[in-house]
Structure 1
Amino acid sequence: MRRVVYTAVALATVLLLSLTGCSNDPPNPNPRASAPLTAVPLDLPRYMGTWYIIANIPYFAERDMVGSRAEWKLRPDGKIDDSYYGRKKSFDAPEKHYQFLDTPVPGKEGGEWSVQLFWPVHVTQLTLYVDPDYHYTILGYPGKNLGWIFSRERDMSDDTYRALLGRLDAMGYDTSRFRRVPQRPDQLGKAGFSSPGDKD
């Protein structure tokens, strides 16, 4: 039993180090790297639903995933059921599902969530941008070592993608670290997209 507890603590520590930037992340060359991130206010009921993961900074938990998406559902208690879906390496692979519980932080107008990865591990997630029509959104973590671009649709034009990267650059992110997530088989291997087996 003690060994199980130690293993769980070790895994939680590794996960937290990875998510909070205390790992081997490269230096951020953006001149605005030290500027703090600010969450935007949200209409939470409107923000709920399905969001496709268009791009992210690759990290161990989502590396090699294709066709990934998040589904958020607002609960009567004000918390959010957060479901992640994706396929490992191939669109023919079975779909994986991970479940989290998010709590909007009081006083942050819905834009900052405390995400329970598993008990008792929580991380802070910020909504950094959402367009007026709630078609696109950008999420990040305070350390800027992780970031995501989401869309209501599987496809995003190159112009829209570049515009959202421009917003991330203005926030102080190293946008060279972002890779697009394949949402269709014909995107595998294309320039700018993650490919199964990539290290970064």
Structure 2
Amino acid sequence: MSSPRNPNPRAANELKLAPSVDLPRYMGRWYIIANIPYFAEKDFVGSYAEWKLRDDGKIDDSYYAHKNSFDAPLKHYQFTDSVVPGSNNADWSVRIFWPIYASQKTLYVDDDYQYTIIGYSDRKLGWIFARSPNISDAKYRELLGRLDEMGYDTSRFRRVPQTPDQIGKPGFHSPGEKD
């Protein structure tokens, strides 16, 4: 299934990485506030990532989430990331499993390292992360505005439920829902 055409007039512009990422400050837990739904994260709630800088310079990338319900067991997936040389730590190569790699591009991180936006050059995938599992609607709209400026079709983003009461609310992923 192909993605719908991106109506954003800035979609053809080059996607720019964050100017630089301070890796030690970037490490730790990041909650997935929103993303463009896709098969690998479909039906997950309470999703978060934990990044840990290793002594060899690589990054341990742990993904945690519950499938369909907060009552479901917490699933854990482990990846290994490497910083792409010359990217000021903003572009990572993620080893999904050998020999499959994906790119993880940090497009924005705020000065306090509380919010970050990660995406792909084709803008078919994107994520909003925060240090806290819940953010204000105003902050969410601000981050969507940044994605819009970057040429993303922000209508495709859905919030990831981080608490049981968010399941089924407008604008959130609905586990079990057909694409």
Listed one character per residue, the Cα deviations across residues 80-114 of structure 1 (whole Å, up to 9, x for unaligned) are 00000000000000011101110001111100001
**TM-score scaled to structure 1, two decimals?**
0.88
Q: Which 4+ runs in 1 deviate beyond 2 A?
A: none
Residues 1:49 and 2:50 aligned together:
no
Q: C-alpha separation between the residues in 1 aligned to 2:90 and 2:2?
A: 28
Larger Rg: 1
Alpha-carbon contact 1:124-1:142 (below 8 Å) kept? no
Q: C-alpha separation between the residues in 2 aligned to 1:169 and 1:56?
A: 14
Q: C-alpha separation between the residues in 1 aligned to 2:36 and 2:168?
A: 17
Q: C-alpha separation between the residues in 1 aligned to 2:175 and 2:123?
A: 24
Contiguous gaps of at least 5 residues in structure 2: none
Q: C-alpha separation between the residues in 2 aligned to 1:51 and 1:173?
A: 21
Structure 1 position 172, deviation (Å): 0.3
What RMSD, in angstroms, separates the aligned Cα atoms of the two structures?
0.8
Contiguous gaps of at least 5 residues in structure 1: 1-22
**TM-score scaled to structure 2, two decimals?**
0.98
Structure 1 position 199, deviation (Å): 2.7
Residues 1:120 and 2:64 aligned together:
no
Equivalent residue for 2:122, pick from 134, 143, 152 = 143
Which residue is 2:5 aligned to?
A: 27
Listed one character per residue, the Cα deviations across residues 11-50 of structure 1 (whole Å, up to 9, x for unaligned) are xxxxxxxxxxxx5111101001111211111000000000
| Same amino acid, percent of matched pairs | 68
Structure with bigger helix share is: 1
